[in-house]
Amino acid sequence: MSDGATIAVVGGGLAGITAALDCADAGAKVILLEVRPRLGGAAYSVRRDGLTLDNGQHVFLRCCTAYRALLERLGSAGLTRVQERLEIPLLAPGGQRGVLRRDRLPAPLHLARALLGHRPLTVRQRLSAIAATAAIGRLDPDDPAIDAQSMGRWLAAHRQSARAIDTLWDLIVLPTLNVPAREASLALAAFVFQEGLLRSADAGDIGLHEAPLGTIIGEPALRALQRAGVEVRLGWRGSALEARERGWRLSGGAGTQTEALECDAAIVALPHLRAAELLPAQAAEIAQRLRGVGVSPIVNLHVVYDRQVLDAPFAAGVDSPVQYLFDRTDAGGAPPGSQYLAVSLSGAVEDMRRSVQQLRDRYLPAIEELLPQARKATVRQFLVSREHAATFRAAPGVSALRPGPRTGLPGLALAGAYTATRWPATLEAAVISGHAAAQTVLRDLGGGAPVASSVPGAPGAAGAPGAMPASAARSHLAAGARA
Ligand SMILES: Cc1cc2nc3c(=O)[nH]c(=O)nc-3n(C[C@H](O)[C@H](O)[C@H](O)COP(=O)(O)OP(=O)(O)OC[C@H]3O[C@@H](n4cnc5c(N)ncnc54)[C@H](O)[C@@H]3O)c2cc1C
């Protein structure tokens, strides 16, 4: 590739980190600009009241190969653990327990026994759920007509009762799509079921982060980027992007100091609504589409008990407002003898409006219903983290709005979990999108595709806008003061 070309990557989440590493690997001079004082974007940790909290519980699946490969590169994969086989402990009020576990049979038989044994449903409902699971496997997630449909209508048409939706379908859909199954895009739901559960027996084995997200993502990413020669500027806000005769001018800066950076290519790796603000006038149509993509919130409760109340690394609530519970005692640094549970609440539109006291009043009794040991325990800490725009809203029609990495403007690409990777807003989507954006600008700069050519979701050559003249592939980063 055009050695020495300068590429600016705006946004230091997983998409920006991945794109910056790929561009540096290809020989570019890369500068990564991130407004916050740390890398990792939507997946981060904070210290609060003596605990290290993740802003939200993040899990991944065995089939998240791009994300897992990135962690290998960062050297932090060893701080994660993938289940030997999919197993979700289920907790119901009154201390009742169950489990959703795959068999060692090939797909799709690996799930048959789990569904047949799903006790919250009648035998007839279980058989009907198996038929619907097989039917979802036959849908084409890339069909616009499927994207336009809600999963709720489809489930009703496939005779899934309200109870089946609440106690089975939402166990998968809520945490992966961050909207309830009734409101979800059928295309995204079909993709998750096919890729995450049906394509191979082990695809859906769950991966857990056993250390804080900052230790697994943000901190090692900074070291890896610096080793790769990327200049990382933290606390730097991008505010405008303009096309130059050759390349791009990115304005922004840290605090009140503003500057303009000239670069040959730029990758905008921001959340979608921020990207819409930064994109240049020539990309107005993309910006308009991005403004049509909604957001969906996630609330996490961080509860420290004075003793152990949960005897599994994580569990799901059934017939309970508690969705998923995770034991974060070690990762969060809770005092010996205590147990720190993180309660993850996806699609949490109503919980976003509740005060801390209201959340306490609603969820502590609900946890006690699921975990009888919690009734005898004392709550030492109760903290709340809220992410208003945790993910894009995976509503019907959203796939039609998601842009690819190409903007149609040579040397300008988009990266982010919201771009058209086929995945919902996940760690995996962000990493795939970063590879795709890097490949796009490297091609535009006149190079081949030295990286990520086998990455799913990476852009093909078809439809590529004209390559940037080779002469533009010269480094001319010039940071000048701007009032
Ligand atoms: C609470 C929560 C729970 C989640 N749970 C899961 C899960 O279990 N599994 C899963 O796979 N995914 C999960 N996700 C989603 C996952 O975290 C995201 O899809 C992914 O991290 C997005 O990465 P990104 O790089 O696309 O965007 P981001 O991480 O949003 O990165 C964008 C970056 O741009 C920066 N930025 C914004 N404006 C500017 C500007 N003007 N100039 C410079 N920088 C700017 C931001 O600070 C940010 O660092 C969860 C998300 C949240 C919030």
For residue 71, is it within any domain?
yes
For residue 76, is it within any domain?
yes
Within this chain, do residues 273 and 336 fall inside the same structural domain, yes or no?
A: no
For residue 218, is it within any domain?
no
Per-residue model confidence (pLDDT) at position 3:
62
How remote is the CA of residue 42 from the centroid of ligand 1, in Å? Answer: 3
Supply φ then ψ for residue 80, to 5 degrees.
Answer: -120, 165
Q: Is residue 478 very low, low, confident or very high in pLDDT (cuts 50, 70, 90)?
A: very low
How remote is the CA of residue 43 from the centroid of ligand 1, in Å? Answer: 6
For residue 229, is it within any domain?
no
How remote is the CA of residue 271 from the centroid of ligand 1, in Å? Answer: 7
Within this chain, do residues 192 and 129 fall inside the same structural domain, yes or no?
A: yes
For the chain, give me the number of helices (H) and strands (E)? Answer: 19, 21
What radius of gyration, in Å, describes the C-alpha atoms of the chain? 23
How remote is the CA of residue 2 from the centroid of ligand 1, in Å? Answer: 30
Within this chain, do residues 280 and 406 fall inside the same structural domain, yes or no?
A: yes
For residue 217, is it within any domain?
no
Supply φ then ψ for residue 121, to 5 degrees.
Answer: -110, 155
Within this chain, do residues 196 and 262 fall inside the same structural domain, yes or no?
A: no
From CA 406, how far away is CA 70, in angstroms rounded? 22
Closest ligand 1 atom to residue 385 Cα is 1
For residue 91, is it within any domain?
no
The predicted-structure confidence for 157-178, as pLDDT tens digits, reads as follows 999 999 999 999 999 999 999 9
Within this chain, do residues 54 and 191 fall inside the same structural domain, yes or no?
A: no
Within this chain, do residues 112 and 183 fall inside the same structural domain, yes or no?
A: yes
Q: Which residues contact 299 (CB under 8 A, 6 or more apart)?
A: 345, 348, 351, 352, 359, 384, 385, 386, 387
The predicted-structure confidence for 312-358, as pLDDT tens digits, reads as follows 999 999 999 999 999 999 999 999 999 999 999 999 999 999 999 99
**Domain containing residue 113: CATH number:** 1.10.405
For residue 442, is it within any domain?
yes
**Domain containing residue 358: CATH number:** 3.90.660.10
Within this chain, do residues 10 and 77 fall inside the same structural domain, yes or no?
A: no
Residue 155 clears pLDDT 80, i.e. is over it: yes
The predicted-structure confidence for 410-468, as pLDDT tens digits, reads as follows 999 999 999 999 999 999 999 999 999 999 999 999 865 444 333 333 333 322 322 33
Per-residue model confidence (pLDDT) at position 225:
98
For residue 137, is it within any domain?
yes
* Best residue among 34, 293, 433 to mutate for probing ligand 1, ranked by most atoms within 8 Å of CB: 34
Residues with Cβ within 6 A of ligand 1?
10-16, 33-36, 41-43, 55-60, 237-238, 269-271, 274, 298, 387, 390-391, 416-417, 425-430
Q: Which of 62, 189, 201 is nearest to 137 (CA)?
A: 189
Within this chain, do residues 11 and 151 fall inside the same structural domain, yes or no?
A: no
Closest ligand 1 atom to residue 428 Cα is 11
Closest ligand 1 atom to residue 12 Cα is 49
Number of neighbours of residue 174 by Cβ within 10 angstroms? 21
The residue from 201, 224, 244 where one domain ends is: 201
Per-residue model confidence (pLDDT) at position 393:
98
From CA 22, how far away is CA 40, in angstroms rounded? 17
From CA 483, how far away is CA 481, in angstroms rounded? 7
The residue from 371, 392, 413 where one domain ends is: 392
Within this chain, do residues 22 and 154 fall inside the same structural domain, yes or no?
A: no
Q: Is residue 481 very low, low, confident or very high in pLDDT (cuts 50, 70, 90)?
A: very low
Total domains, the chain? 3
Determine which residue's CA is closest to atom 5 belonging to ligand 1.
58
Within this chain, do residues 50 and 30 fall inside the same structural domain, yes or no?
A: no
Question: What percent of the chain is predicted at pLDDT more than 70?
Answer: 92
Q: What is the pTM of this model?
A: 0.93
Within this chain, do residues 370 and 432 fall inside the same structural domain, yes or no?
A: no
User: What is the DSSP pairing of strand 265-268 with strand 6-10?
Assistant: parallel
Task: Note down the domain range covering 58.
Answer: 45-81+207-211+295-392
**Domain containing residue 286: CATH number:** 3.50.50.60
Q: Which residues contact 386 (CB under 8 A, 6 or more apart)?
A: 297, 298, 299, 300, 348, 352
The residue from 201, 225, 248 where one domain ends is: 201
Within this chain, do residues 49 and 19 fall inside the same structural domain, yes or no?
A: no
The predicted-structure confidence for 78-135, as pLDDT tens digits, reads as follows 999 999 999 999 999 998 999 999 998 988 889 999 999 999 999 999 999 999 999 9
